C-alpha cells in the first residue's frame, strides 16, 4: 500500500487538489468530498500507469503542518 499527501485548495466556486509527491497528478471537484474522491481515483490511475510503464513509484516524502501566529 502507498500513501500520498494531497493538498486541497478552494478554487473560486470549486476545489482543486494535487499531490506534491506525484507531479502532474491533479483533480478538481465541486465539493471537497468530490475533489478528494477524484484525487483518489487520479492517484490510483497514476500509480497504475507507473507500474505498467515499469517506472518506480515515488515514496511519499511530503508532510503538512499548521503553524499558529499571533
- The predicted-structure confidence for 10-27, as pLDDT tens digits, reads as follows 999 999 999 999 999 999
Average pLDDT for the chain: 96
What CATH number matches the domain at 7-52, 3.40.140.10, 3.40.50.300, 3.30.565.10, 3.30.160.250? 3.30.160.250
Global pTM value: 0.88
The residue assigned the cell 475533489 is 35
C-alpha cell at 56: 518506480
Q: What pLDDT is recorded for position 1?
A: 84
CA dist 25 and 23 (Å) reads: 6
Q: What pLDDT is recorded for position 22?
A: 96
- The predicted-structure confidence for 27-58, as pLDDT tens digits, reads as follows 999 999 999 999 999 999 999 999 999 999 99
Amino acid at each position: 500500500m502507498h500513501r500520498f499527501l494531497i493538498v486541497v485548495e478552494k478554487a473560486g466556486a470549486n476545489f482543486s487538489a494535487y499531490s506534491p509527491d506525484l507531479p502532474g497528478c491533479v483533480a478538481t471537484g465541486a465539493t471537497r468530498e468530490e475533489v478528494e474522491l477524484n484525487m483518489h481515483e487520479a492517484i490510483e490511475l497514476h500509480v497504475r500507469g507507473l507500474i505498467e510503464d515499469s517506472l518506480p513509484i515515488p515514496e511519499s516524502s511530503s508532510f503538512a503542518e499548521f503553524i499558529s501566529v499571533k
